[in-house]
Amino acid sequence: MENEALLEKVRAKAQTWLSNSYDPETRMQVQALLDKEDSSELIDAFYKDLEFGTGGLRGIMGVGSNRMNIYTVGAATQGLSNYLKAEFSDLEQIKVVIGHDCRNNSRKFAEISADIFTANDIKVYLFEDLRPTPEMSYAIRKLGCQSGIILTASHNPKEYNGYKAYWDDGAQMIAPHDKNTIAEVNKIRNVSDINFAGKKELITIIGQEIDEQYINDLTKISLSPEAIAHHHDMKIVYTPIHGTGVKIIPSALKAFGFTNIIHVPEQDVISGDFPTVVSPNPEEPAAMAMAVSKAKEVDADIVLASDPDADRIGSAIKNNDGEWILLNGNQTALLFVYYLITRWKELGKIKGKEYIVKTIVTTELIRTIAEKNGVEVYDVYTGFKWIADIMHKNEGKKNYIGGGEESFGFLCEDFVRDKDSVSACSILAEIAAWAKDQGLTMYQLLQKIYVQYGFSKEKGISVVRKGHEGAEEIEAMMKHFRENPLKELADSKVTLSRDYATLKAYDYIDNETLSLMMPTTSNVLQYFTEDNTKVSIRPSGTEPKIKFYIEVHAKVNGVDELEAADKAATEKIDSIRAELGI
């Protein structure tokens, strides 16, 4: 009966998309879904409305309220317009920036959004062509805008597109602005509520001048220009994986002083079909394979990559046997934090008011490095908007060194408020040059960190469950873990558990309940054990999956102990996976 009721509700909703308010192509596609004997696609397209998650609006492109199309994008833009006009009613001219990535329909969605903003008398700065997400964030602050959007689905497969909304500080929206915008979007019940009649005179096309200012400001964060000068010709292989980094990241590397950037020509091709990869995600070995192959061919020093909207960074380095290995997000973050803090100290920039930010699922080794060097650490939820929130609250009071997350995102500068692969690629290349100055490879530098601060190994596992039934299954899995809390992991007793949905923690040693000081609730469970193992469980806010993060630690006394520590850690992670049933 429940499924019948859902189907009836979905059919009624889909019928409203057959009115003349929708364009003929949309009506035809909706009718085709209604006529299909198998109703699963119809249900997926209409069973809910797209909502803002950790990455904003994101979904598969197609017709329906749960799909990315001109009407869901239109409703989001109209709702945001209404909210901006209410919030900034005292301003003579409200201004927004619009950017987009390489994805199919991204330019179309960007131009339609520009029309809707200007139809509501909001001035638009529209990038002339695809640009990185962090550059859009930069432009909001540089141009004194009240908001900005970028059309992108980040690293998702080609079927997806998305819509990230930003506030006047250049960061993705958080409460109350995200919830208030959603409320305005939800008030739009008919297509007639969306004003598509744009005013071209309110659109200003931007491009090269912002590129130049952005890159110039990025060069100011360089901490080791002398190391770059020594190793300016080191071989850097870079791939944009068909995305927005294609021009600006090589330009940034050159501005930093690097002169030998080697491209992967097949992946310099801008395409929303991502022809050389199944998924344009630098986390995945398959997406990095062509760049690694090029690195072997030219005997490169380092491989750098960015995802389609150039906010995430991927990297590969050579181990001590000369084999290429991919750095995971935690390792990349470790290298950044270690380098930034080390150089800040050497340059006399640590004054006692410095801090770094990490997400709760990112390696705890970052905390160890920071605290042992007198640098404050903030733990925040997944999603770079929470890192930006800390930056906003500390602006003018404390000094931001850097912030990152295990999902391949890092931000080295404080004038952008989202993860930035443009600066990350430039600084990671700088770290490689700096390591060379000390007679170290990047791999040996990572080993040095492990010996000095302790070894850690992290593993992220995603369990994919698509569609309406998948969402219910993920909900049931979280319910199961809440009702059956973990007491032991790989023969080590759980000493602390945290439930961010209730903002309560339980200390098993002192048998007491603690309060978690976070800005809002989040559907995340965490467990810490006697041997410093950490397990985190959370549904993704942007993809149909539930994520498990396993982190184990060991003390090593020298480089010669790292291989055994790594093997033991792998075995422990495998044991925990078996216990969790994943």
Which active-site residues does the annotation give?
Answer: 154
Kindly state the greatest CA–CA separation across the chain: 72
Backbone angles phi, psi at 42, to 5 degrees: -60, -45
Beta bridge partners of 236: 261, 302
What ranges in 262-378 are assigned the alpha helix state H? Answer: 265-268, 285-298, 329-346, 365-372
Side-chain half-sphere exposure of 392, counting CA atoms within 13 A: 17
Question: C-alpha 211: how far from its chain's center?
Answer: 22
Peptide bond into 282 cis (omega under 30): no
Alpha carbons 383 and 164: distance in angstroms, whole number: 12
Buried b (16+ CB within 10 A) or exposed e, 60-93: bbbbbbbbbbbbbbbbbbbbbbbbbbebbeeeee
Residue 131 β-bridge partners = none
Mapped onto helix, strand or coil, the DSSP state of residue 463 is: strand
What are the residue ranges of helices labelled H in 163-320?
Answer: 177-186, 208-219, 225-230, 245-256, 265-268, 285-298
Cα distance between residue 58 and residue 223, in whole Å? 37
Closest CA relative to residue 331, chosen from 371, 377, 299, 283 = 283
Q: Are 438 and 360 in contact (CB under 8 A)?
A: no
